[in-house]
Amino acid sequence: MASSDVINPATGEVVRRVGLASLEETDAAIARAQAAFPAWKAVAPGDRARLLRRFADAVDGAVEELAALEVLNAGHTIGNARWEAGNVRDVLHYYSAAPERLFGRQIPVAGGLDVTFQEPLGVVGVIVPWNFPMPIAGWGFAPALAAGNTVVLKPAELTPLTALRLAELAREAGIPEDVFQVLPGAGPVVGQRFVTHPAVRKVVFTGSTRVGKQVMAGCADQVKRVTLELGGKSANIVFADADLEQAAATAPYGVFDNAGQDCCARSRILVQASVYDRFMELLEPAVKGVVVGAPGDEATEMGPLISAAHLAKVSSYVPDDAPVAFRGSAPDGPGFWFPPTVLAPVRPDDPAAVDEIFGPVVAVLPFADEDEAVRLANAGDFGLSGSIWTRDVGRALRVSRGVEAGNLSVNSHSSVRYWTPFGGFKQSGLGRELGPDALGPFTETKNVFIAH
Ligand code: NAD
């Protein structure tokens, strides 16, 4: 079996070697998932719910272990990694309520009885990126399993360790081995096979817009169900009437959390021109105060980037003549470090204001009025997230309705609650994860008419 090194991004050292599944091994895993489907579908709702709760409890008992693994494998800060493991637990608990509550309807008709059933699809392939290996896995597998599907999950090549451990915890909780399988491997091999294999009835893909488009195009051939969670270039819009101190103090968290490797990163700060200078004065100490360093230290707020290749990509957006207003600090290395960096002012057509850099780099753009703020926020192909800072409730509502994005927050940078819907407008995605809306797409609606 081919294998690849898993690297600790904070040190550049090899953590472990992990096998990469071949095409034949992928087909074998899909065949096992297909064979396991009828029995899993037939498990009584209460029993399936209990198994999911036991899985959640097993994750709960392993939060520290999973968090430590993610610090090692993904360079996440220990605080974030604990939250991420806890999020998998919470998502499992949330969807464990589904088996007993997912039912069809009886619709009045003449001449008989009309009923609908919500039936599971079969095998679901879940493809996960490297930036949030645990939560994004859980957002796919928890509702899929709850609805009665079997799952084959492919973690990102760079970050397979926590997913492999989650599969062990599922088994320890009593979930049959072939019902939830984790298969590390290359995207173009394992992930692509999910797209082309006729027994895989749905693909849940989270990753770049570039690969997401390929996945969607491939799924079209079999009219395969697909959910896409893709890239973002979200705006943090600061109006003159906002609590500027609070907006500036929290802006670094909005973009530099997870070293900016966050699809919801507010990587453009749009500031009303009349308060631009004051806002930048307040932002500077906040950015310079971000604690960057060893991700396992409790005080650390930002860790390394995921890989040398990604460091090179992020660095390319900050050439020597870039308009760096100010930046924080970062260790020299070893490891893949880049300091929190503020580019300002940036023209709307500058690549730093358009592309998803996916690193700790933020572009600041001034705007004149509400209309221009909305126009700038909506520029480009993405529409995932964003923040609006204002004390004017009417403006908050108008701008929220004007910005084309799936997840907005007013006077806050929060994007994710496991019980509310999450997903993107435009090329940031297709469909929604989390919350009640995520369950339906893991089922087909069947209508049956029974004549008197
Ligand atoms: P990526 O697209 O390179 O890879 C994502 C996954 O797809 C990996 O598991 C990869 O192995 C697999 N893959 C690669 N080629 C494939 C193919 N041909 N067929 C099937 N699968 C294939 O993305 P990445 O660099 O791992 O992750 C970063 C991207 O993910 C960013 O764009 C980020 O915005 C996005 N993201 C989006 C969300 C969201 O919820 N909207 C969340 C997290 C990350």
pLDDT > 70 in the chain, percent: 100
- The protein residue with its alpha carbon nearest to ligand 1, atom 37, reads 230
pLDDT tens per residue across span 326-375: 999 999 989 999 999 999 999 999 999 999 999 999 999 999 999 999 99
Instruction: Give CA–CA dist 346/344, Å, rounded.
Output: 5
For residue 282, give both structure tokens: 């307040």
Is 216 in the same domain as 269?
no
Rounded distance from Cα 107 to ligand 1 centre (Å)? 41
Q: From the CB of 154, is ligand 1 less than 6 Å away?
A: yes
Q: From the CB of 139, is ligand 1 less than 6 Å away?
A: no
Is 241 in the same domain as 270?
yes
Q: From the CB of 185, is ligand 1 less than 6 Å away?
A: no
Q: From the CB of 191, is ligand 1 less than 6 Å away?
A: yes
Q: 154-184 burial, b for 16+ CB within 10 Å, e for fewer?
A: bbbbbbbbbbbbbbebbeebebeebbbbbbb
Instruction: Give CA–CA dist 330/71, Å, rounded.
Output: 17
Phi/psi of residue 15, nearest 5 degrees: -90, -45
Rounded distance from Cα 299 to ligand 1 centre (Å)? 30
- The protein residue with its alpha carbon nearest to ligand 1, atom 39, reads 229
Name the band, by pLDDT with cuts 50, 70 and 90, for residue 240: very high
Catalytic residue among 229, 301, 356, 433: 229
- Which domain does 379 fall in, by range? 235-417
- CATH number for the domain spanning 182: value is 3.40.605.10
Instruction: Give CA–CA dist 167/155, Å, rounded.
Output: 11
Rounded distance from Cα 156 to ligand 1 centre (Å)? 8
Yes or no: say if 389 and 242 are a contact pair by the CB < 8 Å rule: yes
pLDDT tens per residue across span 250-294: 999 999 999 999 999 999 999 999 999 999 999 999 999 999 999
Is 200 in the same domain as 333?
no
Q: Backbone dihedral region of 380: left (phi > 0), alpha (psi from -120 to 50 degrees) or beta?
A: left
Phi/psi of residue 327, nearest 5 degrees: -150, 160
**Per-residue pLDDT, 71:** 98
Q: Which of 358, 418, 361, 416 is nearest to 385 (CA)?
A: 416
pLDDT tens per residue across span 202-216: 999 999 999 999 999
Q: Which of 152, 156, 157 is nearest to 167 (CA)?
A: 152
Q: From the CB of 9, is ligand 1 less than 6 Å away?
A: no
**Per-residue pLDDT, 189:** 98
Q: How far is CA 56 from the centre of its chain?
A: 19
pLDDT tens per residue across span 170-220: 999 999 999 999 999 999 999 999 999 999 999 999 999 999 999 999 999
State which H helix or E strand residue 248 sits in: helix 244-256
Is 34 in the same domain as 116?
yes
Inform me whether the pLDDT recorded for 389 exceeds 90: yes
- The protein residue with its alpha carbon nearest to ligand 1, atom 28, reads 207
**Per-residue pLDDT, 333:** 85
Phi/psi of residue 267, nearest 5 degrees: -90, 5
Name the band, by pLDDT with cuts 50, 70 and 90, for residue 96: very high
- The protein residue with its alpha carbon nearest to ligand 1, atom 15, reads 187
Does residue 246 fall inside a structural domain? Answer: yes
pLDDT > 90 in the chain, percent: 99
- Is 119 in the active site? no
Is 295 in the same domain as 175?
no
What contacts 224, CB < 8 A, 6 or more positions away? Answer: 195, 200, 201, 202, 203, 218
Residue 32: how many other CB atoms lie within 10 Å:
18
- The protein residue with its alpha carbon nearest to ligand 1, atom 23, reads 207
**Mean pLDDT on 403-417:** 96
**Mean pLDDT on 83-99:** 98
Yes or no: say if 336 and 306 are a contact pair by the CB < 8 Å rule: yes
Name the band, by pLDDT with cuts 50, 70 and 90, for residue 81: very high
DSSP 8-class letter at 218: H
**Mean pLDDT on 74-83:** 98
Instruction: Give CA–CA dist 372/390, Å, rounded.
Output: 15
Yes or no: say if 389 and 236 are a contact pair by the CB < 8 Å rule: yes
Is 194 in the same domain as 245?
no
Is 51 in the same domain as 73?
yes
pTM value is 0.98
**Mean pLDDT on 402-428:** 97
Does residue 373 fall inside a structural domain? Answer: yes
Going 42 to 47 to 52 to 54, the CA torsion angle's sign is negative
State which H helix or E strand residue 351 sits in: helix 351-354
Strand blocks (E) in 246-321: 268-272
- The protein residue with its alpha carbon nearest to ligand 1, atom 14, reads 187
What contacts 91, CB < 8 A, 6 or more positions away? Answer: 135, 138, 139, 142, 418, 434
Name the band, by pLDDT with cuts 50, 70 and 90, for residue 1: confident
Name the band, by pLDDT with cuts 50, 70 and 90, for residue 154: very high
Max CA distance (Å), the chain = 79
Best probe residue, ligand 1, of 200, 211, 226 (max atoms within 8 Å of C-beta): 211
Q: From the CB of 207, is ligand 1 less than 6 Å away?
A: yes
Rounded distance from Cα 414 to ligand 1 centre (Å)? 22
Number of separate domains in the chain:
2
pLDDT tens per residue across span 324-334: 999 999 999 89
- CATH number for the domain spanning 263: value is 3.40.309.10
